[in-house]
Amino acid sequence: MIALLFILLIPFAAAGLALIHQGLGRSRSSAHTLLATLCAIAIAAVVFLAVGCSWAGHAGGAAHVLHGFDWLGAEPFMGQGLYAKPGSARETLVLCFQLFAVGLAAMIPISTGSDRWRMTAIGAWSVVAAGLIYPLLSHWIWGGGWLATRLPELGLPGFVDAGGAGAIQVLGGLGALSVGWVLGPRRGKYTQGMATAIPGHNIVLVHFGCLLALVGWFGLEGAASLLFYNIAPERLVWVAINCLLGASSALLFAVVATRLRYRKTDSSISANGWVAGLVAVSAGGAWFSPGQAIFVGLMAGGLVTFLVEIFELWLMVDDPGGAISVHGAAGLWGLVAFGLLAPPAGSHLLAQLVGVATLLGLGLPLVHGLNMLIDRFVPYRVDMDGDWQGMDIRELGSGAYPEFVIHTDEFVPR
């Protein structure tokens, strides 16, 4: 039951990410961001229980088979198979973990869609993510699907994602990229050929969110390692140590790199570095040595520091919370790093590269195609008034800080 204790820490990851997302957005959309996060988690949990858990399946469970490829689970809907089955404690714990994990995957793109993504559209995305995309990836990686079980038949070790770097973080990051493309930038972000900096409104909450996320990641990684890879309980302490080391080294890299680059430390990029370290190490925290965790974290911090700028300035993707780099890029790096570093060194690399090729090559077209399809029926972007008023007033009818903040539209061209 130690896994249950770890599972119960996962909401701290959601709370931390939610605070980071709303803090890095504008004050006039902060209540909307937090409520949208809650709605995404709620919708994801209900939809996953209704249909997703059937398709995610579990190792040894029933599966759809396509020419030898175990590609989708085929358990009874509404978790009935587990509810009625005695002695299924482990599978029930897996379901409990998945209910929290799917919410995390669904909420990550809210960071990118901050200030302009409509609540109804966020709900529609959550339905699709929890009902189709996450179960598919989860089954392949954790549910006894082909990435975990068929690769050994081809002479490779199974693809390993010990803490959700692939199934949760990369999915969230790819969703964020797709949402950023579909929504387009916030009004006033790109004017006169230049990207305008739109700073986050509450960096204090962002840093508090980082600390909460650390606790949540202990749970996320510990529970996943226990449930899907049967690590010995004494390895759990290494999960905690490596989480902290990865986050710390990524943060320090971001602090130093931004100080050298801009002469002042960039608070928001440093916070993003912290989370990127957590994401990258979560690919295999129980197997990394402390030195390897520091290396993985340093690289993740470097990736985020430079990719945030590349996405914003070169690719013109407006990502207020940096979710594409933090969750997508750092997650992919973590998976590759596991292949490079996990003992025996290099033995997992080919399997991890195949997993990365699958996540990217199948995941992004699927996620983006579905986002474009949803956008046809439930328009993603708020109307012009919403852009001017902020999402709090437009969709909720009142602001998050009605007595304390006086807005000026300094980022909107007059």
Q: Give residues in contact with other proteins (CB under 8 A).
A: 151, 154-156, 181, 184-185, 190-191, 193, 314-317, 350, 353-354, 356-358, 360-362, 364-365, 368-369
Q: Smallest distance, Å, CB 156 to other proteins?
A: 7
Q: How far is the CB of 126 from other proteins (least distance, A)?
A: 23
- Which of 161, 148, 163, 124 is CA-nearest to residue 57? 148
- Look up tokens 């050298």; give the residue: 260
Q: How far is the CB of 311 from other proteins (least distance, A)?
A: 9
Q: How far is the CB of 317 from other proteins (least distance, A)?
A: 7
163's tokens: 């803490």
195 DSSP β-pair partners: 190
Quote the DSSP letter at residue 58.
-
- Toward other proteins, which CB reaches closer, 50 or 412? 412
Tell me the closest approach of the beta carbon of residue 373 to other proteins, in angstroms: 13
Residues paired with 70 in a beta bridge:
65
Question: 265 or 358, CB closer to other proteins?
Answer: 358
CB of 190 to other proteins, least distance (A): 6
DSSP three-state, residue 249: helix
How far apart are CB 340 and other proteins at their closest, in Å?
A: 13
β-pairing verdict for 69-73 and 190-191:
unpaired
In angstroms, the CA 300 to CA 281 distance is 9
- 130 versus 356: smaller Cβ distance to other proteins: 356
Measured from the CB atom, is 57 or 185 closer to other proteins?
Answer: 185
Cα Rg of the chain, angstroms: 20
Looking at residue 97, its amino acid is F
- As a whole number of angstroms, the distance between CA 131 and CA 71 comes to 15
Question: Toward other proteins, which CB reaches closer, 362 or 405?
Answer: 362
Closest CB 355 distance from other proteins, rounded Å: 9
Cα separation, 300 vs 77, in Å, equals 39
With beta carbons less than 8 A apart as the criterion, state whether 323 and 111 touch.
yes
User: What are the strands, taking DSSP E only, across 82-211?
Assistant: 190-191, 194-195
Of 86 and 413, CB closest to other proteins: 413
The phi, psi pair for 264, rounded to 5°, reads -130, 145
**Contact in structure between 116 and 386 (CB atoms under 8 Å):** yes
Q: Which is nearer to other proteins, 13 or 382 (CB)?
A: 382
* C-beta separation of 28 from 391 below 8 A: yes
Decide whether 397 or 413 has the Cβ nearer to other proteins. 413
